[in-house]
Chain A
Amino acid sequence: MASEKPLCLKGEKDLPELVVSLGSMLWHRTGSWRYLRPEYREKPAPCGHACPAGNDVEKFLRLASEGDFDGAWRTILAASPLPGVCGRVCFHPCEKACNRGRYDRPMAIQAIERFLADQASVRGLAIEAPPIGSSPDRVAIIGSGPAGLSCAYHLRLAGIKPVVFEAEGALGGVLRHGIPAYRLPKDVLDREIAMLAAIGIEFQTGRRVGKDVPWEAMGEYPAVFAAAGAHRGRRLGIAGEDGGGVLGGLEFLRQVALGLRPDIGKRVCVIGGGNTAIDAARTALRLGAQVTMVYRRSKAEMPAHPEEVEEAEREGVEIRFLLAPAGVAREGDGIVVEFQRMALGDPGADGRRTIVPAGGRNVFIRFDSILVAAGEDADFSFLPPAVRAEKGQVVVDEWGRTSEPRVFAGGDMAMSSRTVAHAIGSGRRAAMAIARALAAGGPAEPATEAAETAEAPPGGVEPVPFEAVNTAYFEHAERCRMPVLSMAERLKGFAEINLGISADAARAELKRCFHCGRCTACDNCLIFCPDMSVRRRPDGKYEIDYDFCKGCGVCGQECPRGVVEMKLDKERRQ
């Protein structure tokens, strides 16, 4: 403390040699000058926040960038058992959300996920699952698509034994019987399913619930997760639709996946604008057909992923817009399809423009066959009426709980967002709810509050906005390119188009990540603090000495990734 006697320096000899206080100034808590208060708050990065499967994307990128590829793979596995699948077919909303996309181009997250999955497979890594608990409880899962697989996997990680009933002879749902091999080679799916079988998930194939297994048999399970997908092709509702030469798009894909070669002739018409339509068109191309896709609306309204549409066009699929099928007539050994010309109208409830007849004469086009891909509906006929369904979906809450206490549902049959990642996420959340319900002693309602805490991402909900990233610390760098099969090679068959990136390319790509919201112990705050009020903690991260921090905000400004936040200091405000 300052001395109690009044300071009296008589002469030169009492003064210090340089202009400096006579004693330590530690007593002077300059923190009292503070108005703003810096705080370290790690926040979710937008990538992981956008992942419907709940992947901690930033974390796996971080571990991978540190060279820990195995740890990175295991991080993905904490959310999803299908990184090899998602690394290929996920529509990667993470990349759309990636802050780097506003700087140059987003991180190639999907390519890295695939790289990690493929290298884990090469290295023979296996899933580590805890032993199955002593409880005899088993949970029934209906459908082995991504939703069913995910639910089974997460239940198994919770020590619960799942039994999966699958109507088809092979596992995987749309991954097996829908998505063509040029996008998702079946050995990739096989190896990920094999890992699930290896941890003791029981699969019963060729067992359709409601037919091969009565619904009543589900009564022996304390919980059931229904994930039967949506497979019933919608009809066009036009004359001549039911005759020969007309095949459902998904059914066509299924037959091809089963190794059958449906006779579609040379000139093939694909009706529709969604994923099934695109995959059917590209598959037909590979069977040697000339393919014309016809869509009622315009390109902007196509539900298919834009990248897929682009690829289809590059491969030679012709797409015609604003033509609605009006009738099918048979002429000789061919088919003539009549189309009505359409025009775009006002935006509808989903934001997409609706269509109205444009007038003018109808268009007639001759084909050998038609593949109808006008959407798929779910079939709930195997479910008891007590499980409520509305607008073609089983009604569920965010934990997959249906109106029937014991019954949970997820995936395409219960969600309007029909993607692999959404299906995986729904399976995971349902597994958590089921596990909690079983732990609570039966099919009781899971405590929503506890559930939310368990699910809440670290440190808050709002992801780091681009504006919080200090881009001065990041050099522009080119995004890695996915090597692809040449056009000529592609059309010869069903070989995978995307060849995967090399380890070197992955390492270079990983350097691009901002690691939004995550303290990487870069030392910037420590170095720039003009008051030396930032201290390193034993865990390598930092703490602020509020006794001396004046709240200048330099640490917040210089934090490259939005971890340090400046807040109004509550103590100071009073």
Chain B
Amino acid sequence: MKKVIMGNHAVSYGVRLARAEVIAAYPITPQTQIVEELSEMCSDGRLKAKFVKVESEHSAMACCIGAASAGARAFTATSSQGLALMHELLHWASAARLPIVMTNVNRALGPGWNIWTEQTDSLAQRDTGWVQLYCEDNQEVLDSTLMAFRVAEAVRLPVMIVYDAFFLSHTYEPVDIPSQEDADALLPPRKLEKGTFMDIEDPRTFSNMTPPDYFMEMRFKLERAMRRAKDEFGRAAGEWKKLTGRDYAAIETYRCGDAETVLVAASTAVSTARVVVDSLRGKGRKVGLLKMRMFRPFPYREVVDVLRRTRKVAVLDRNISFGSGGIFATEIKAALSNVPGHPPVYGYIAGLGGRDITPGTIEEIFDRTDRNGVPDDPITWIGLKP
């Protein structure tokens, strides 16, 4: 059934279809409607979940950790400062191997106080052991929410669904709401294996002291699970395609076949870039587009396979790691660095704090990449007012 809904509500529908059992959240713009709608679903019985009001995002994540430890399917949503406040517990959730799903609506961190989109908040959490999936439209938001639970439970790692403030969170789009049957087919009830959750019948000690003798091995297992997450995502996407016809993969390419310049982007900027690629192609320019859906685990093989064949790579970052550069660009460079004769990578930063990324912005990026040699500076600012 199709409905015209905002991105935030697409999450709520996804969580309902996933039959989440515990939801703990603290409101923050631009995330609020997600949990607002979920709380209504809980109160009117559409969703049989325990909705826990908490006093901070730190508590929200702590609550999800507790719930997931006890075997429940737990969900929370946040944004920006809220996500930053959770930081300690993000590490905990992954190292305790808890399949928590969280939505993070990308929003710039203050000060200056800003509620608009920017990816720095989620990318700053890249080392916390969470799977990260970036979404381009509301349908993808909903579908990813379901797949997130599937991946999380299969590999026992937390998953973060990420998308742009306002450009998706508050924008209404037609979304196909999957049937409960399809959702259940993709996502059966969480399997609780003995010794992996808090069970009164079989009490155990969790998260105990782990000395140097064993600590590295535990981290090795976490990393291995992270890698499995990519395959599991592929499997889930395959099944979902069979059920709904909609296709998802860790990365997506657009007109990259013979492209000489490929732009790498994520989130809503991808839609804009697609239009620009078409228009430049119309003018005979060999440009292509690589959409990053999955950021953690980083899909090295997939990215390298696409980019090694092109002449120049441009990366559009709506984020910044101060003193280094755009975070996607940094990762792309790292991915290519051991490929002999790899193409140069141009790092562009645009659209911080919710500034529009227009077709003009992207055209300028293609133009500069095609025209110029590799800049010394890892950052080229686009649209910066001099």
Chain A positions near chain B (C-beta within 8 angstroms): 9, 11-12, 15-26, 532
Q: Is the CB of A20 within 8 A of B220?
A: no
Q: Is the CB of A15 within 8 A of B221?
A: yes
Q: Given A11-B217, A12-B217, A12-B221, are A19 and B208 neighbors across the interface (CB < 8 Å)?
A: yes
Q: Is the CB of A19 within 8 A of B220?
A: no
Return the chain A residue nearest B224 by Cβ: A12
Q: Is the CB of B200 within 8 A of A19?
A: no
Q: Is the CB of A17 within 8 A of B204?
A: no
Among candidates A9, A15, A20, residue contacting B204 with C-beta atoms closer than 8 Å: A20
Q: Is the CB of A19 within 8 A of B95?
A: yes
Q: Is the CB of B220 within 8 A of A25?
A: no
Is the C-beta of B338 less than 8 angstroms from some C-beta in chain A?
no
Q: Is the CB of B195 within 8 A of A20?
A: yes
18 extra A-B contacts, CB within 8 A, seeds A18-B96, A20-B195: A9-B214, A11-B217, A12-B217, A15-B217, A15-B218, A17-B221, A19-B95, A19-B96, A19-B207, A19-B208, A20-B204, A20-B205, A21-B208, A22-B195, A23-B204, A25-B203, A25-B204, A26-B202
Question: How far apart are B133's CB and chain A's nearest CB, in angstroms?
Answer: 23
Q: Given A17-B97, A19-B95, A21-B208, are A26 and B203 neighbors across the interface (CB < 8 Å)?
A: yes
Chain B positions near chain A (C-beta within 8 angstroms): 95-97, 156, 195-196, 200, 202-208, 210, 213-214, 217-218, 220-221, 225
Q: Is the CB of A21 within 8 A of B220?
A: no
Q: Given A21-B208, A23-B204, A24-B204, are A16 and B214 neighbors across the interface (CB < 8 Å)?
A: no
- Residues of B near A16 (CB, < 8 A) are 195
Question: How far apart are B68's CB and chain A's nearest CB, in angstroms?
Answer: 11
Sample (10) of A-B pairs whose CB atoms are under 8 Å apart: A12-B221, A17-B97, A19-B208, A20-B204, A20-B205, A20-B207, A20-B208, A24-B202, A24-B203, A25-B205
Q: Is the CB of B203 within 8 A of A18?
A: no
Among candidates B196, B200, B217, B220, residue contacting A18 with C-beta atoms closer than 8 Å: B196
Q: Summarize A's interface: helix, strand, loop or mixed.
A: loop
- Residues of A near B97 (CB, < 8 A) are 17-19
CA distance A11 to B213 in the complex (A): 9
Among candidates B203, B206, B213, residue contacting A19 with C-beta atoms closer than 8 Å: B206
Question: How far apart are B124's CB and chain A's nearest CB, in angstroms?
Answer: 25
CA distance A26 to B196 in the complex (A): 16
- Residues of B near A15 (CB, < 8 A) are 214, 217-218, 221
- Residues of B near A19 (CB, < 8 A) are 95-97, 206-208, 210, 218
Question: How far apart are B225's CB and chain A's nearest CB, in angstroms?
Answer: 8
Q: Is the CB of A21 within 8 A of B196?
A: no
- Residues of B near A25 (CB, < 8 A) are 203-205
Question: How far apart are B309's CB and chain A's nearest CB, in angstroms?
Answer: 37
- Residues of A near B218 (CB, < 8 A) are 15, 19
CA distance A22 to B204 in the complex (A): 8
- Residues of A near B203 (CB, < 8 A) are 24-26, 532
CA distance A20 to B221 in the complex (A): 14
- Residues of B near A12 (CB, < 8 A) are 217, 220-221
- Residues of A near B214 (CB, < 8 A) are 9, 15
Question: How far apart are B268's CB and chain A's nearest CB, in angstroms?
Answer: 36
Question: How far apart are B316's CB and chain A's nearest CB, in angstroms?
Answer: 38
- Residues of A near B207 (CB, < 8 A) are 19-20
CA distance A20 to B200 in the complex (A): 14
Return the chain A residue nearest B216 by Cβ: A12
Question: How far apart are B345's CB and chain A's nearest CB, in angstroms?
Answer: 35
CA distance A18 to B198 in the complex (A): 12
CA distance A19 to B204 in the complex (A): 10
Return the chain B residue nearest A13 by Cβ: B217
Q: Given A9-B214, A11-B217, A12-B221, are A17 and B202 neighbors across the interface (CB < 8 Å)?
A: no
Question: How far apart are B369's CB and chain A's nearest CB, in angstroms?
Answer: 44
Question: How far apart are B237's CB and chain A's nearest CB, in angstroms?
Answer: 24
Question: How far apart are A518's CB and chain B's nearest CB, in angstroms?
Answer: 28
- Residues of B near A26 (CB, < 8 A) are 202-203
- Residues of B near A23 (CB, < 8 A) are 204
Q: Is the CB of A17 within 8 A of B196?
A: yes
CA distance A209 to B200 in the complex (A): 73
Question: How far apart are A27's CB and chain B's nearest CB, in angstroms?
Answer: 10
Question: How far apart are A15's CB and chain B's nearest CB, in angstroms?
Answer: 5
Q: Is the CB of B208 within 8 A of A18?
A: no
Return the chain B residue nearest A23 by Cβ: B204
- Residues of A near B206 (CB, < 8 A) are 18-21
Interface centre among B156, B196, B204, B207 (most CB of A within 10 A): B204
- Residues of B near A9 (CB, < 8 A) are 213-214
Question: How far apart are A573's CB and chain B's nearest CB, in angstroms?
Answer: 27
